[in-house]
Structure 1
Amino acid sequence: MSTSPKMSSSLKNELSSSEFEVEAQSLQLQAQRQSNTRLINVVHGGRIALTVLALAAGITVLGVSANSLMVYHQTYLPSDFYLPLWPSQFDLRPTAALIAGGVVVTVTNIVSLLFSKIQALRSLTGPHAIASLAAPAAAFIASLVAMSLFYAANASSTTDNLQSWTCRWNDVPMTMQPHFGTLCKQNQAGVVLSVLLVPLEAAILAVAGYQAVLERQATKA
């Protein structure tokens, strides 16, 4: 039984139409994947930029707070000396809280950047995802705890700390350490940056979570 030319032409048209639909779906899927990849790269770049900013802030907080504490220890004299530079009752806990928070923020953001920039570490999907979320979470908690401890210890109206004492005497001209004016500015900068680190680390955590969702969707696609 021979196939009529009309039926053969119709069959060819159906096959061509089916191939065209498959090719169109394939191109659409490919375009969607490329769009998702571009979005992931943009989000990843934004997270890296925020992480670098947080790292710089953490290093600054750590540096100015540690320097203030070092100057205090270098210039401290017991109360039996004449004209001591520092009071006998002094609270170092606010400065210690800023130093501890700065250490955690610095270390966690370095770990996050290492897993994001070094290809050998980034290819480890599980550890990379954990580091991307755990690092900003730990930094956010550390920043929040550091600020809570700082303001709790700084609430005393009877005992001075590095910030209150140095800023009280910041107008006194000094040609040698401890330079109260400089220490006052350093302490104020450390406090301001520590406050800013809380929303900054929260933003990094939110962006990292969004990136993790996008990467999971891209894997399933």
Structure 2
Amino acid sequence: MAASSFINPSVKHEAASSHYEVDANDAHFRKQARTVALIDTVRIGITTLALLCGLSIMGLAGNALSVYNSTHLADAGWLSLWPAKFDLRPTVALVIGSTLVTVANIAGLLCSKVPHIRNNTPFHTPVMFAAPFVGLAAALIAIIFFYAINASTTVDSLLSWTCRWSSVTMTSGPSFGTLCHASWASVVLAVILVPLEALALGVAGWQLKTEKHLASYAAARKGTRSPSA
């Protein structure tokens, strides 16, 4: 029987980067191809969710820093709404960490969506693992750094100060209540990012294992048919 390059037309994503020379009616191959496509869809979905979390953290924490920079009075501390001793590093850590998460996940999505890059296995496979690994490391470092510094009882952070005065009604900026909620939201999203990126890393490993099994099966099938071809 003549061999043909088979990709299940009902699957939106290619089952793997390379073309497999197998019988189009091979039920096992069709099943494995669908599995690879499903895993790939799940991985891309998790990556997209992680990207949205990263963008949200960057926006929330970045806006909080912007409000602080526009409302504190460095040369007139006795008039300032902010304390003289203030530690912005926890919020800065969230901004930097979320930026790394965003860049890593954008790279991961581009490698999965752009056909020319996706079909370049030596490049696509490392990035498939590097994106969630960088995101996981950045989220962990940001969270650890945030809680280590925010635990101080002598110097306020943006979160501790705004939440302390969140009940104060303010008719103009900075609105401590809004900043408190935004700061907490960015921290919660950063915590959520950790299991998300870990899950994406695990799914990437599962996908690679399944793709290797598919490639081995296709090679074995091709080898058994080659003498009679």
Q: Which amino acid aligns with 2:42?
A: G
Residues 88 and 82 from structure 1, CA distance in 2 versus in 1: closer, same or farther, beyond 3 angstroms? Answer: closer
1:188 aligned partner: 184
2:224 aligned partner: none
Give the superposition deviation at 1:113. Answer: 0.4
1:166 aligned partner: 162
Superposition CA RMSD, Å = 1.7
What is the DSSP-based 3-state SS (H/G/I as helix, E as strand, rest coil) of the residue aligned with 1:88? coil
| Residue correspondence of structure 1 range 44-123 to structure 2 within 5 A | 44-78=40-74, 80-123=76-119
Q: Which amino acid aligns with 1:205?
A: L
2:136 aligned partner: 140
Q: Which amino acid aligns with 1:50?
A: I
Q: Which amino acid aligns with 2:84?
A: S
Distance in structure 2 (CA, Å) of the matches to 1:54 and 1:30:
36
8 A Cα contact 2:40 2:207, kept in partner: yes
8 A Cα contact 2:104 2:131, kept in partner: yes
8 A Cα contact 1:79 1:88, kept in partner: no
| Residue correspondence of structure 1 range 193-212 to structure 2 within 5 A | 193-212=189-208
Distance in structure 2 (CA, Å) of the matches to 1:66 and 1:160:
18
Q: 2:35 matched to 1:39?
A: yes
| Residue correspondence of structure 1 range 18-33 to structure 2 within 5 A | 30-33=26-29
Q: By percentage of residues, which structure has more helix?
A: 1
Aligned residues: 197
Give the superposition deviation at 1:147. Answer: 0.6
> Identity, % of aligned pairs?
45
Give the superposition deviation at 1:118. Answer: 1.1
2:125 aligned partner: 129
TM score, norm. by length of structure 1: 0.85
Can you list the C-alpha shifts for 1:63-87, whole angstroms capped at 9, x where unaligned? Answer: 1001000110000113635431100
Question: Which has the higher Rg, Structure 1 or Structure 2?
Answer: 1
Distance in structure 1 (CA, Å) of the matches to 2:25 and 2:199:
31
Can you list the C-alpha shifts for 1:26-50, whole angstroms capped at 9, x where unaligned? Answer: 8798111111100001100001111
